[in-house]
Structure formats: C-alpha cells, structure tokens
A = this chain, B = another copy of it.
C-alpha cells in the first residue's frame, strides 16, 4: 500500500513507456501507468517530455463513460527506422515507421553462401539509393537493425561465417551516425510477431518463441521485463540421438539434422523455401506417401522430445512454435506432444504448458528486422546516441 520511492533511471522509465506504446499501438495514460507500474504523475511527466521531443503524439479520443480519458497516446509516425534482413535466399532492406508501414523496400536475390565481399558490394549500391530516397523526403532515420541467420554464437556463425567486427565497421561507414543493432533472425521474428502482429499472437506473459526453419532456434520473450525482453535460445544443436544423422555443425544427432527445413525437404522431395511458400496444408497438396508422412511425424516427435528437454532446463509457461510444423495437420502435429510427454518432467499438461502454433511469416522481409530496429530504438529510451553513449560510460 505504501508505495515508497523506487528509483529508476530516466532512460529506463522512458524505455518502459515507449515499449508499452509500441506493443499496444497506443494507450491512454491510465493504462500506461498500470502497464509500466508508474504513477499517473510520472507518466504525465514522461509523456510531456516525449511529446516535446516529438516522439509521441496525442489524439483526441473520448471514452464512452463520464470523465473518461481524453487523449490516446501513440508513438509518432515521424520516427523512421531501417531494417536489413539477410536470409538464405535474399537480402532485403527497408524503411518504416512505428505505424508498421514499410515505406521503402529493396530486395535482392542472394545465395545461401553469400560471402562478405559480395554483401558489401551489394549493400553499398543499395545504400546510395536509400540515402537518396531518405534525403529527398527529409526523413531522419533513428535506428538500424540487421538480422542474420545463426547470429550470436560465441563459436562463430555456422551459416554465414562472417567477421562481425568487419560487418559492424562496414555498416558504420556506409550508414554514418546511425545506431546499429545486429541480431539473430529468430529474435527479429519474435519482435515482428510481438510488435507488428499482435492479433495473431495471443500469448501473454513469459514464453518461448520457437522457430523451426533452416535452423531450430528460439527466443525467450519476457513480458515481465518489458525491456531487454529477448534472450536467445539455441535448441537446434541439442544432440538427441547418439551417432545419429550428421548435422551441418559437424556433430551427429542434433535436433536440426532431423527437424530443419532442409531435413524435411529431403523427406518430401520439395525445396525448403517452397514448403513455406505453399503455406497451409502443404502436406495435403503434396500427396506425400505414408512413409514420408510417418517420418514427418517421427521428426515432430523428436522436436517435442528436445523441447521437453529444453523446458526442463528452462521452464516457461508457454511456447509458440512457428515454422513448418505449424503447417502440418493437427493429427500429425500431436507427435510433438508425444515427444514432450517423454521428456518434460511431469509430462505434458495443458494447465502447466500452453503450446500454440502460428504460421511462419514469409515474404514480408525486412519487416522483422524493422520491428527489431523499432524495439532497439524504444529500449534505448528514444534518446540520442550521444546521451546513450554517455549512459554506457556510466555503467562501465
């Protein structure tokens, strides 16, 4: 009841408020105060600050009942961010604002083995065009983010074995003065689902977002800590079958060797990117034989087994799976639950673990990187790089 003084830094409170706005696409002050655990007085001050900086806007909107809130606070659509997305088939970049629009986009085909020299050549040309577009409209880019499959491993990236220091240096030179964040594609996917597709993504609270694509990786999305909300979760290289199938990582029996898009495409004889492109009911349309179908069930069983193992180590009340398993018929998908039942302590129990499936989003690159860029901007409190750098020094 007492509610005494609990200090937080200016950057942190601003970040909390902005993240809430990004997630909810606008909120009344009262709701903001509740979501951020601040008093209305504090929200008032922060919103006033943000408004003078033109980071947020207020739109008149009155509630149906007497004395309701008067103005809806939303993020300003004048803030623009840049997203760069690298995938196995193409490189794309785009500019967008917090409204979720993609105002500028360029997509270039790229090989899965795109090397760093080639990337720099490709991107340099694009950057010139981008700069022109931006300058012509007087747009002020505030944050850039690039998502890369396999990014973030200590041991180096097995998919794109690039030199990250060189990449940062290069982008820093080509995009001078623009704060840059690199991240794993899965993290960007999670950000996209959280911020750009809140409707299809009904999960509340802490959960694991697991993406089964070329790799098998996930993110722990921590709703309780609205900022620093994404921590990576590498599941693809858990060995579940000793002396099993060879994986591209060099080991044998990894989850990825069994359940990646590549493994599945071998089973059904369809190129990986086509599976996702066909979307819903990709199995039905294919008339796969029963042998292949049984194998797919088996693979999903293994996925469930590995997921159970992972959840034993890191318990989470909900899991959202995106990727090809979301496209299989529910009767086949049940193999995942069978697998869970053989590893998850106490077995699978609807009350303790909510498991849901969302269709993998395809062809909307670079919206994921864009969402992540928005998150990065917001989690920095929307402060200028200069004051941000000072903040870094403080903690050092």
- Chain A interface extent, by class: 35 or more
Of the listed stretches A85-93, A112-120, A125-133, A233-241, chain B binds A233-241
Shortest A335–chain B CB gap in Å is 13
Chain A residues numbered 114-163 whose CB sits less than 8 Å from any CB in chain B: 153-156, 158
Indicate if A166 sits at the interface (CB-CB under 8 A). no
Given A1-B393, A2-B390, A393-B1, CB of A309 within 8 Å of CB of B342: no
As a 0/1 sequence over residues 309 to 340 of chain A, the CB contacts with chain B under 8 angstroms (1 = contact) are: 11011110000000000000000000000000
Question: Mind listing 21 A-B residue pairs with CB under 8 Å?
Answer: A2-B394, A3-B393, A4-B394, A7-B7, A7-B9, A233-B313, A234-B312, A234-B345, A235-B312, A235-B313, A237-B312, A237-B345, A238-B309, A239-B305, A239-B308, A239-B309, A239-B342, A249-B345, A251-B342, A251-B345, A313-B313
Apart from A3-B394, A154-B346, A238-B313, 10 more pairs, CB < 8 Å: A2-B393, A4-B394, A155-B346, A237-B343, A237-B345, A239-B308, A240-B242, A242-B305, A242-B342, A249-B345
Residues of B with C-beta under 8 A to A393: 1-3
Of the residues B233, B239, B345, contact of A343 by C-beta under 8 Å: B239
CB-CB nearest in chain B for A252: B342
A129 to chain B minimum Cβ distance, whole angstroms, is: 38
Residues of B within 8 A of A154 (CB): 315, 346, 352
**B308:A310 contact, CB within 8 angstroms:** no
- Number of chain copies forming the complex: 2
- Nearest neighbor of A395 in chain B, beta-carbon distance: B6
A45 on interface, CB distance cutoff 8 Å: no
Once the chains are docked, how many angstroms separate the CA of A235 from the CA of B315? 12
A173 at the binding interface (Cβ < 8 Å) = no
Given known contacts A234-B345, A342-B251, A241 and B239 CB-to-CB distance under 8 angstroms: no
Residues of B within 8 A of A60 (CB): none
A8 at the interface (CB under 8 A from B): yes
**For the complex of A and B, 10 pairs with smallest distance between CB atoms:** A155-B346, A7-B7, A239-B343, A238-B309, A155-B345, A237-B312, A237-B345, A234-B312, A2-B390, A6-B9
Contact with B along A344-359 (1 / 0, CB 8 A): 0111010010000000
A2 partner residues in chain B, CB cutoff 8 A:
390, 393-394
Given contacts A154-B352, A305-B242, contact A390 B346 (CB under 8 A): no
Residue of B nearest to A250 (CB): B347
Which chain B positions have C-beta within 8 A of A6? Answer: 9, 394-395
Alpha-carbon separation in the docked complex, A155 to B343 (Å):
13
Q: What's the Cα separation between A2 and B390 when bound, in Å?
A: 7
* Complex Cα gap A249–B349 (Å): 15
By beta carbon, the residue of chain B nearest A153 is B345
